[in-house]
Chains A and B, each alone.
Chain A
Amino acid sequence: MLGRGEGSVRLAGTIVEFDRVGLRYGTGGEVLRDLDFRLSEGGFYFLTGPSGAGKTSLLKLLYLAQRPTRGRMSLFGDELDHAPRDALPGYRRRIGVVFQDFRLIRHLSAFDNVALPLRIAGRAESEVEGPVREMLAWVGLADRASARPPTLSGGEQQRVAIARAVIAGPDLVIADEPTGNVDAAMAQRILHLLTAMNRLGTTVVVATHDLGLIAATPGAQLIRLENGALVDPTGALRHPPGAAPRAGGRST
């Protein structure tokens, strides 16, 4: 396991910790700067902000597709900003990601797409079939298991992507505009899936512009970005209360 930096004290129940984190691409200016926040285990968070505020860049840091260019970043209690590359797959397996563009593998069936995290984690084939069928049924796609993504509607692809993100029981689910391509009814259904995961103890971070989605999720906490910086006037994200916010619980 990776060690933590000297002088750093992990708060009990903290799953993500950013300490003055900055990110720039190449030689351009910083797209994220001085991000300083903590996310509690089992929390439900909405990441909001205008287009270009840096939401997708922050998500990339969270699902380990980018490293911060400055500052310190901890995930699951381990500092990862300078972690060796070989260590990252183990952490990625604890994170489920729903990409805005789904990123399903086009030549694989819905079943194989959903089974991918289990197979990558080394599960025996006999331990894959049951959970994947169950997950496909959970997202309402039991009869579409053998369909390939190009033959699925946008909403169906979205649900396959969600099923893939949660099949391995991740500790952290990150979703980028998960309702951006679906109608209101489907958006509601997706939100139900995410809140159900959250109730089972998974920390959920959802980037969205959809105020209706936020309003429909009492108890969720907001992370607001503007121009690459965190808007946190009360300091609630830097010093979260001991109890994690749960969707469906108390209101923000």
Chain B
Amino acid sequence: MKLLAVPEADRRLIPASGIKGPVPLLIAIMTFVMVVVAAAGLALGNTASVVKSGVENRYSIQIADGSAKASVAVAAARAAPGVARVEQVPPAELRRTLKRWLGPSGAEADLPLPVIVDVDLAPGADAATVAGRIERSVPGARFVAHRTSLAPLLEALQGLTMLAFGLVLLIALASSAAVILAARGALDTHRSTIEVMHGIGATDDQVATLFLRQIAIDSLIGGIAGAAMAGLILAAVLGGASFATSLAGSPPLGWEDAAILALLPLAVTLLATLVARGALLRALRDRL
């Protein structure tokens, strides 16, 4: 905030461009894209977390060769320590599922069906012990963690989340490059003023501070405008996103996520100011 407290007399040295210059517009566009991409990344991350926690303690007993062993498997599972819930998937439901995958032939009565029993373990239960009990009771039965089946989906969600955050960094880099160009342009525009100031004994910090104030203000204006526009669009999109809510079991973005997104314009302003300061001091150092 010290930047914004530059004395009025010093402000007159570098006439303000106001919000007419290219920096606010550039920062607004960059912040808009950044907030949208960051929101997508956070939503994907949240969905992955919800899916992962939903299947954390969920397992299936799979028996490929017939239903005769189903009751034995269910009994063995119920007797095992740490088992919270045991429920066999009804054959009719399995047939419906097969029909969706295989078409009408999936519903034929002579198609052998596997036995699938859903098992939920209590938190902290030892899955290996339960698996051992079941496999000893029903040779050939497999005790499979749901997270193993969903691993490709979770990996894809996590990959997309990382991609989104990578894009946010890339946009931040592009914003930095734009600010560096703007800072150098400002130095060129005010070259004669800077020469006079240096000649009178101004330090590089004193000169840079005059420009940084304007860059910080422009970045803040652009950042807030871009984030506000992104917020409106996200509210419209996520407001009707009942599908996403039903898929994940909760809204894709929480209050913490909204707070992170709201802080992005400030982060962009801080980044722009730091980058501009570095660029200005480097450029000024080239002069005596």
* Residues on A facing B (Cβ under 8 Å): 63-67, 85-86, 88-93, 97, 103-105, 107-108, 112, 115-117, 119-121, 125, 128, 164
Judging by beta carbons under 8 Å apart, are A112 and B9 in contact? yes
Cβ of B202 and Cβ of A105 under 8 Å apart? no
Kindly identify which residue among A65, A117, A121 contacts B288, using a CB–CB cutoff of 8 Å. A65
Is A103's CB under 8 angstroms from B13's CB? no
Contact B7 A117 (CB under 8 A): no
Within 8 Å by CB of A120, from B193, B200, B285, B288, lies B200
Inter-chain CA distance A24–B120, complex, in Å, is 85
- Subset of 19 A-B contacts with CB under 8 Å: A66-B288, A85-B285, A88-B288, A89-B201, A89-B202, A89-B203, A103-B195, A105-B13, A105-B192, A105-B193, A108-B13, A115-B9, A116-B197, A116-B200, A120-B197, A120-B200, A121-B201, A125-B7, A128-B9
In the assembled complex, the Cα of A125 lies from the Cα of B198 at a distance in Å of 20
- Given A117-B201, A120-B197, CB of A64 within 8 Å of CB of B288: yes
Interface residue tally on B, bucketed by range: 20 to 34
The answer to whether A108 touches B285 (Cβ under 8 A) is no
* B residues in contact with A115, CB < 8 Å: 9
Query: Complex formed: what's the CA distance from A107 to B197 in Å?
Result: 14
Within the assembled complex, what's the spacing in Å between the Cα atoms of A85 and B203? 10
Decide yes or no whether B65 CB sits under 8 A from chain A: no
Task: Report A108 CB to chain B, min CB distance, Å.
Answer: 6
B49 at the interface (CB under 8 A from A): no
B9 in contact with A103 (CB, 8 Å): no
B7, B12, B15, B202, most chain A CB atoms within 10 A: B202
* B9 near A107: Cβ-Cβ < 8 Å: no
Q: Is B196 an interface residue (CB 8 A)?
A: yes
CB distance from A67 to the nearest CB of B (A): 7
B288 near A63 with CB under 8 A, answer: no
Contact A108 B12, beta carbon cutoff 8 Å: yes
Within 8 A of A (CB), among B198-252: 198-203, 206
B202 surroundings in chain A (CB, below 8 A): 89, 120
B201 touches A86 (CB 8 A): no
> Could you say which of B192, B195, B196, B201 has the most chain A C-beta atoms within 10 Å of its C-beta?
B201
Contact in complex: B199, A63 (CB < 8 Å)? yes
CB-nearest residue of chain A to B196: A103
Chain B residue contacts of A108, Cβ below 8 A:
12-13
In the complex, whether B126 has a CB less than 8 A from a CB of chain A is no
Q: In the complex, how many angstroms separate the beta carbon of B102 from the nearest chain A beta carbon?
A: 78
A88-B288, A108-B13 given; A120·B199 CB < 8 A: no
Chain A residues whose C-beta falls within 8 Å of the C-beta of B15 in the assembled complex:
107
Indicate whether A112 sits within 8 Å of B195 (C-beta atoms), given known contacts A86-B203, A90-B201: no
Which residues in B have their C-beta under 8 angstroms from that of A93? 200-201
Q: A105-B192, A107-B12 are in contact. List 4 more A-B contacts (CB 8 A).
A: A116-B196, A116-B197, A125-B7, A125-B9
Decide: A117 near B9, CB < 8 A? Known: A66-B288, A85-B288, A88-B288: no
Chain B residue with Cβ nearest A92? B201
- CB proximity to A under 8 Å, residues B153-207: 192-193, 195-203, 206
A92 — which chain B residues lie within 8 A by C-beta?
198-201
Interface centre among A63, A90, A117 (most CB of B within 10 A): A117
Judge if B87 is at the interface, Cβ distance under 8 Å.
Answer: no
C-alpha gap A179/B270 in the complex (Å): 49
Kindly list chain A residues whose C-beta atoms are within 8 Å of the C-beta of B288: 64-67, 85, 88
Chain B residues 47-88 with CB under 8 Å of chain A are none
Q: A119 contacts B9, CB within 8 Å?
A: yes
Residues in B with CB closer than 8 Å to A63 are: 199
**Chain A neighbourhood of B200, CB < 8 A:** 92-93, 97, 116-117, 120, 164
Q: How many angstroms between the C-alpha atoms of A97 and B196 in the bound complex?
A: 10
